[in-house]
């Protein structure tokens, strides 16, 4: 998703905080003033870090999920990717996403397994190393056709959100994106599908109802609704630029609950 914040919008957000504006509801709420921290752009990496978070905590004990975004490389959605089933996020305000206090990225540094044991480019460790930059050396490229990566959180957790960055050096749509969670590494026990935009069941995992989207520096946030699981698996089946499958970073935000 692609969102932009002007300096005026940031100043307005700060004024709103000082004025004591509250937030209400839970999980996905109407957009409220946001507080953004922007670090200088590095000439070597073209990376601008943004922390998007609401300034107030919700009365219900939920807090806005703070996501640190990498710098943007391209803007907007190219005409050739503007299709009926493609999610249009251009120019939209990023609403805060609320999670329970104590939620953190449980995937950071965790082991990653894949259907492609010998990636074309990079290593599987790059999927959870915390580096989301749109540059060579920050992503892993898997072979063509349907492939997947699986993250082992180490123990069961309540999962509230999954954020995935495939590849955002250029505008692409990844095909048949499917995200599942399960209790076992073979995905047999308590398998839950959290996202599926495979409209024709070409990946053989069922027909999905979610929309395609252009991968960009905001990645794709998937609401996991607090489901309990230890393993998270992400599928894709090539993209609009080539037949390969890329992963720059995957974050799994939740709280550990036990083995």
* pTM of the predicted structure, to 2 decimals: 0.78
| Rounded Cα–Cα distance for residues 68 and 218 (Å) | 9
* 141 and 244 Cβ atoms separated by less than 8 Å: yes
Residue 50 has pLDDT above 60, yes or no: no
**pLDDT tens digit string along 101-157?**
999 999 999 999 999 999 999 999 999 999 999 999 999 999 999 999 999 999 999
Q: Which residues contact 249 (CB under 8 A, 6 or more apart)?
A: 126, 127, 128, 129, 130, 131, 132, 138, 163, 164, 165, 219
Q: How do the domains of the chain map onto residue ranges? A: 7-95, 104-258
Per CATH, the number for 104-258 is: 2.60.120.260
Neighbour count for residue 230 (Cβ, 10 Å): 24
Task: At 13, give phi and psi (nearest 5°).
Answer: -60, -40
In this prediction, residue 81 carries a pLDDT of 78
Neighbour count for residue 140 (Cβ, 10 Å): 22
**pLDDT tens digit string along 158-210?**
999 999 999 999 999 999 999 999 999 999 999 999 999 999 999 999 999 99
Q: Which residue has the tokens 């997947």?
A: 148
Task: At 192, give phi and psi (nearest 5°).
Answer: -125, 130
In this prediction, residue 74 carries a pLDDT of 81
């Amino acid at each position: 998703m692609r969102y932009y914040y002007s300096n005026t919008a940031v100043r307005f957000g700060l004024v709103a905080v000082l004025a004591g504006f509250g937030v209400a509801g839970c999980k996905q709420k109407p957009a409220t003033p946001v507080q953004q921290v922007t670090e200088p752009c590095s000439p070597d990496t073209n990376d601008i870090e943004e922390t998007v978070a609401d300034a107030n905590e919700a009365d219900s004990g939920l807090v806005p999920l703070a996501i640190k975004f990498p710098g943007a490389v391209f803007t907007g959605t190219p005409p050739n990717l503007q299709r009926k089933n493609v999610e249009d996020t251009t120019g939209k305000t990023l609403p805060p996403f609320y999670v329970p206090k104590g939620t953190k990225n449980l995937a950071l540094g965790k082991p990653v397994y894949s259907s492609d044991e010998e990636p074309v480019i990079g290593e599987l460790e790059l999927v959870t190393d915390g580096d989301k930059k749109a540059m060579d050396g920050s992503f892993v490229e898997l072979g063509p056709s349907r492939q997947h990566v699986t993250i082992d959180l180490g123990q069961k957790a309540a999962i509230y959100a999954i954020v995935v960055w495939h590849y955002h050096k250029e505008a692409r749509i990844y095909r048949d994106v499917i995200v599942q969670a399960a209790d076992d590494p073979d995905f047999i026990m308590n398998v839950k599908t959290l996202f599926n935009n495979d409209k024709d069941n070409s990946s053989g995992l069922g027909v999905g109802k979610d929309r395609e989207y252009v991968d960009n520096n905001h990645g794709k946030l998937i609401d996991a609704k607090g489901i309990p699981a230890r393993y998270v698996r992400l599928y894709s089946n090539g993209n609009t630029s080539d037949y390969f499958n890329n992963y720059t970073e995957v974050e799994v935000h939740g709280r550990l609950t036990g083995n």
